Each structure stands twice: as C-alpha cells, then as structure tokens.
C-alpha cells in the first residue's frame, strides 16, 4: 500500500486528479492467484486497467493476457514484437486470448495472421470466423449463472448449454478447430457456487462432445469474476480457490489446460486516487465537498461497475457525514452521499480513495472538457 506521505508528495509534484498505481501490489496479487490456483494460468483482463506499464509488470511476472479489442491486443503485442517470428507466434497462441464473443469483420481479418485463440457463442460468429479468420482456434463461451455478481454478463454473452455441442460440431464442419470451452460467472462474484456450477456444466458439455465424436478440446477457460477485497464482506480468495481446485481436480484430467481471466482481482487494490477539494457548501444542513475528480473520470465505476468508493483525508479533525460531488456541471456527478470526513477541511486540501485500480480510469471520459486523472506508477522494476 502506498503511504499517505508518498501520496502527498506525488500530488504536490504532479497535481490532481491523480491515480497512483503500486506495482508491488500487482505482483503480490498475481503471486496470490498463482499460489492458490496453481493449475490455472492467469490471463490478465487488460480492460480492467489497460496501462502498458501494468501489462509489462504482469508480462514479467509470467502472466498471459485476455484482450477484447485490437487496441488491447496491440498493447500486449508491443512486448513481444522483438521476439523471433516462430517464438512470437507460439507466444501469441499460448499467452493471448481474444475473449470477446462478437467481433467485427475487420477485427477478424486483422487477427487472422496471428493464428489467435478467440471466443464465440453463436452460429453467425462461426460463419464470420470461417470467412475472415480461418487460422483462429476457437473457444466456445457458455452461458452460466451470474447470481450474486456485481456486474451480470450472461444476458449479453454465452451459448445455452443445450446448443453448445451443436455449435462445436458446426464449427468443426466449417473447417475450424474448437480448442475448448469458456464461461464467465459475472464480475466481482461473491457467490462462489457460481464457479462450482459452471465448472460442472462445462464438464457435462465436454462429455457430450466426446460422446458425439468431437475429441479435439483440450482447454477450459474459467473466466473472470474473482472478487477483490473491497470490504470485509468479501470472503478470502483462498476459500474460492479451494472450491475451484476441488472441482477441477475431480472433473478435468491433468492434460486439460485451465485458463482464467482475472482483471479486477489483479489491479483493484493496486491503485489509489488523490483529489483536491475545489469548493464547499452546506446544502439542507449537510456539508458538501466538491473535488476535481468524479464519476465521469476516475470514479466512473460508480456508474458502470456498481462500485462504492470511500474517502480518507490527510487533515485530521472532528468528522461528520458529508456529500462528495465531482467537478462537472451534471447533477449525476455525485461521488458519495455519505462520507465520514473531517468537517474542517478547506479548499486545496486533499482526499484519497483506495482500491480504485479496476474499471476506474478504464471508462473515464472528458465530459465538460475536464481531463482524466494523471496516472503515476510506483515500485516498477
């Protein structure tokens, strides 16, 4: 965790709004994931924090990468372009999965020379891939329960289990190779049984595919959804890992490669936002602080990710329940209606918010012309 002293120093040097990313914390999170899920190769979901420096740190640690756009693909590709051609091609196949089930024709044409691993979940996507990216390896994404997830994904993506094997065989008839299955239990999933049920469903699809003559699948991608410890209500990661390991060992032999797509888990706790109070008012008897960051910027996760962020102050004093507003003219720009902050804060004082590394600046805008927070990386190697 970046110290309050260093946060103040960085704010003085760079100004605010500021997002401070701690690479030691990223390395710790990756090590924790590998420790408790030793059989699972972590494909970092680049969309969670698509900073090249973050990709570099995880690249050096041994991570693979889940990308869902060509700009994300290019961020990862930057780190492998100097490899020999054969080694680079093998690396892309083993270390990058394009995990967006619906892709534009132009995207498929651009991906095809790399012989990528891509997901799909419907008949039309098979036809598109066969025409525009026939060198791709396919992973069928299944629709699974998202009960208890902070962000539900199953209504937008995933093939129904009953049509899964038909989609596998259709891809096979189109001359494509289906390498395996994937699923996503929803972002920030605190209902660990979602993983258990999804792994069992995938095992059933593997068995049905073999029974119907398709024996080429050799991988299972258990997706993302691994919860970040935003508060004490989130059970320890080791408890989730214990459930996942038991089901994987019971249902999938060692020769089946296991992938996962952690994003939030890797970076949520690795960043702290620092903002400046630019105004104050008392409205209906309640103290309101206005800061130079908001929901159109670093705190966008309030809108798009259903996150709740809390603040700390560097100045001490008697506290009371306050409202924190963002800097824009939009009434939507409410960061928090209930923050316990010192009542003696002044214009120019700093606030900080921890655990804001995932899906924060990722969806930041320049609404009203306000620029996004400057990103500063610490503890890089």
Q: Is 366 a catalytic residue?
A: no
Distances from the Cα of 258 to the Cα of 32, 127, 153, 169, 311, angstroms: 17, 27, 21, 22, 38
Cis peptide before 17 (omega within 30 of 0): yes
The string of DSSP letters for 19-35 reads: EEEEHHHHHHHHHHHHH
Handedness of CA 211, 212, 215, 218 (dihedral sign): negative
Helix axes 123-132, 164-173, angle to 10 degrees: 20
Do the strands 312-313 and 187-189 form a parallel or antiparallel pair, or are they unpaired? unpaired
Q: Which residues contact 326 (CB under 8 A, 6 or more apart)?
A: 290, 291, 293, 294, 295, 296, 297, 299, 333, 334, 335
Please tell me the number of Cα atoms within 13 Å of 91 on its side-chain side: 19
| CA–CA distance, 8 with 10 (Å, rounded to integer) | 5
| CA–CA distance, 375 with 128 (Å, rounded to integer) | 38
Do the strands 334-342 and 350-353 form a parallel or antiparallel pair, or are they unpaired? unpaired
CA 105 to chain CA centroid, Å, is: 25
Which residue is catalytic, options 307, 322, 329, 366?
Answer: 329
At 56 the three-state DSSP class reads: helix
- By residue count, the chain amounts to 381
Question: Which positions are annotated as active-site residues?
Answer: 329
């Amino acid at each position: 965790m970046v110290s309050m002293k260093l946060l103040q120093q960085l704010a003085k040097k760079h100004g605010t709004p500021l997002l401070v990313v701690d690479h030691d914390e990223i390395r710790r999170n990756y090590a924790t994931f590998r420790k408790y899920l030793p059989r699972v190769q972590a494909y970092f979901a680049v969309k969670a924090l698509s900073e090249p420096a973050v990709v570099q740190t995880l690249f050096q640690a041994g991570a693979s990468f889940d990308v869902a756009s060509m700009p994300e693909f290019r961020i990862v590709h930057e780190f492998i372009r100097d490899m020999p051609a054969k080694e680079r091609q093998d690396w892309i196949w083993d270390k990058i999965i394009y995990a967006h089930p619906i892709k534009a024709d132009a995207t498929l044409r651009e991906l095809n020379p790399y012989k990528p691993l891509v997901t799909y979940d419907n008949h039309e996507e098979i036809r598109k891939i066969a025409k525009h990216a026939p060198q791709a390896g396919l992973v069928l994404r299944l629709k699974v329960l998202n009960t208890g997830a902070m962000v539900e994904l199953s209504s937008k993506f995933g093939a129904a289990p009953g049509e899964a094997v038909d989609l596998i065989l259709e891809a096979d008839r189109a001359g494509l190779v289906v390498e395996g299955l994937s699923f996503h239990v929803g972002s920030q999933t605190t209902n660990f049984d979602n993983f258990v049920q999804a792994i069992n469903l995938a095992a059933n699809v593997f068995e049905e595919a073999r029974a119907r003559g398709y024996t080429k699948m050799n991988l299972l991608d258990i997706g993302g959804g691994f919860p970040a410890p935003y508060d004490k209500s989130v059970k320890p990661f080791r408890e989730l890992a214990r459930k996942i390991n038991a089901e994987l060992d019971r249902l999938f032999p060692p020769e089946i490669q296991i992938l996962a797509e952690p994003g939030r888990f890797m970076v949520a706790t690795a960043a702290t936002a620092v903002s400046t109070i630019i105004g104050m008012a008392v409205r209906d008897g309640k103290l309101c602080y206005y800061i130079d960051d908001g929901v159109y910027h670093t705190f966008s996760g309030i809108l798009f990710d259903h996150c709740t962020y809390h603040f700390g102050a560097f100045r001490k004093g008697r506290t009371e329940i306050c409202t924190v507003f963002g800097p824009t003219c939009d009434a939507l720009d409410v960061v928090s209606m209930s923050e316990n902050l010192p009542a003696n804060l002044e214009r120019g004082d700093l606030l900080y918010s921890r655990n804001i590394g995932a899906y924060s600046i990722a969806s930041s805008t320049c609404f009203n012309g306000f620029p996004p927070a400057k990103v500063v990386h610490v503890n890089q190697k």
